[in-house]
């Protein structure tokens, strides 16, 4: 296992931690309706790496895996805090790494927005809305 390309990640509560031993080959945002549901947000940010590159360091027994019964869609999450962590896709061809679960900067940058037609109409407005470095005292007054 190469240490130079290892990426470390973990869930929100910290019980699950992992490393990815091979550099991801793709990084994209997916705006499909399934990704909106599963993230509870406007899109998923995922990296793709080889299936055999995942090593669970802690909390593997806490992982819960979901395969959509009819669509090519899967998710693995920490059963304590619900955070998405890497999973092997339903067709077992790729490891899908939720970018937000990484504890360090990935080696590549996002290169595509998928299923953009399914993106919620409020996303562009939200991305150009007022920006704050923390939760502001006067958010409701804006
Ligand atoms: Zn957790
Ligand atoms: Zn998607």
pLDDT for 1 equals 44
Ligand nearest to the CA of 101: 1
Asked if residue 138 is part of any domain, the answer here is no
Residue at 45 is within a domain: yes
Task: Write phi, then psi, for 17 (nearest 5 degrees).
Answer: -140, 155
Per-residue pLDDT of 2-61, as tens digits, reads 445 689 999 999 999 999 999 999 999 999 999 999 999 999 999 999 999 999 999 999
67-109, pLDDT tens digit by residue?
999 988 999 999 999 999 999 998 899 999 999 999 999 989 9
The answer, yes or no, to whether residue 142 has pLDDT greater than 90, is no
- CATH number for the domain including 31? 2.170.150.70
Query: 114-132 burial string, b = 16+ CB within 10 Å, else e?
Result: beeeebeeeeeeeeeeeee
What is the number of domains present in the chain?
Answer: 1
The alpha carbon of 87 and the centre of ligand 1 are apart by a number of angstroms equal to 15
In 1-142, which ranges are continuous DSSP H helix?
Answer: 33-39, 123-127
State in Å: Cα 46 to ligand 2 middle.
Answer: 9
Q: Give the structural domain span for 44.
A: 7-127
The H-or-E segment that residue 112 falls in is strand 112-114
Ligand 2 ion: Cβ-proximal residues, 5 Å cutoff: 30, 32, 35
């Amino acid at each position: 296992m190469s240490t130079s390309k290892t990426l470390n990640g973990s869930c929100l509560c910290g019980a699950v931690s992992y490393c990815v031993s091979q550099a991801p080959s793709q990084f994209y945002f997916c705006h499909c309706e399934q990704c909106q549901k599963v993230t509870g947000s406007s899109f998923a940010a995922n990296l793709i790496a080889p299936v055999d590159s995942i090593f669970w360091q802690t909390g593997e027994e806490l992982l819960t895996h979901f395969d959509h019964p009819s669509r090519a869609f899967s998710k693995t999450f920490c059963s304590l805090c619900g955070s998405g962590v890497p999973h092997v896709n339903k067709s077992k061809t790729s490891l899908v790494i939720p970018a937000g679960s990484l504890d360090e900067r990935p080696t590549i940058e996002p290169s595509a927005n998928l299923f953009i037609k399914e993106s919620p109409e409020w996303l562009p407005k939200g991305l150009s809305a007022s920006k704050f470095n923390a939760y502001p005292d006067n958010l409701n007054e804006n």
